[in-house]
Amino acid sequence: MGGNPKVKFGTGQHDYDLICIGAGIGGLAASALIAKEGLKVLTLEFFTGKP
């Protein structure tokens, strides 16, 4: 364990300082604050927009 989480999708491997699960108001606010501090954040949301 340790180090940054590595996520592989698309064409390559990506390094993030933090992965946020859920893009509700809490997740989006936290992600925005973290990104504003210069850290790389991946925000994941499973809602497709289709009920």
Ligand X SMILES: Cc1cc2nc3c(=O)[nH]c(=O)nc-3n(C[C@H](O)[C@H](O)[C@H](O)COP(=O)(O)OP(=O)(O)OC[C@H]3O[C@@H](n4cnc5c(N)ncnc54)[C@H](O)[C@@H]3O)c2cc1C
Number of residues this chain uses to bind ligand X (CB under 6 A): 11
Q: In 1-51, which ranges are continuous DSSP H helix?
A: 25-36
Decide if 30 contacts 42 (C-beta within 8 A): no
Task: Decide if residue 39 touches ligand X (CB under 6 A).
Answer: no
With respect to ligand X, which residue has the nearer C-beta, 15 or 45?
45
Task: Decide if residue 26 touches ligand X (CB under 6 A).
Answer: yes
Task: Give the one residue of 16, 27, 35, 42 binding ligand X; rule: CB under 6 A.
Answer: 27
Question: What is the CB neighbour count within 10 angstroms for residue 1?
Answer: 2
CA distance 2 to 31: 21
Which positions lie near ligand X, rule CB under 6 A? 21-27, 44-47
